[in-house]
Amino acid sequence: MMKNSIVSVMVALMGVCLPPVRAQQQDESSLSEALREALFAEEADRDLAKAEKGYREILQHFDGKRSYVATATLRFGRVASGSR
């Protein structure tokens, strides 16, 4: 009886935890696709307006996190290059 209760709780937790993981994977996939399309528009088609729109959409997605990403990118560059 106790074993069935534990299994039921585990299944319920999986049902709660897996949808956010799936949503995150879909979100990353759509961002990857958006970046690929923007890069293609810029490099292959030379459609800078379309590329700008694509890049802007990606940046808007991370609007609240841009300062963290910018700081981490800067610090990573410094650390990786060995400069201070």
pLDDT digits (tens, 9 = 90+) for 34-73: 999 999 999 999 999 999 999 888 888 877 787 887 888 8
Containing structural domain, residue 23: 2-81
pTM reported for the whole predicted model: 0.53
Supply the pLDDT for residue 43: 93
Domain count of the chain?
1
Q: Residues 69-80: what's their mean pLDDT?
A: 83
Give me the DSSP letters along 22-81. HHHHHHHHHHHHHHHHHHHHHHTS--HHHHHHHHHHHHHHTGGGHHHHHHHHHHHHHHHH
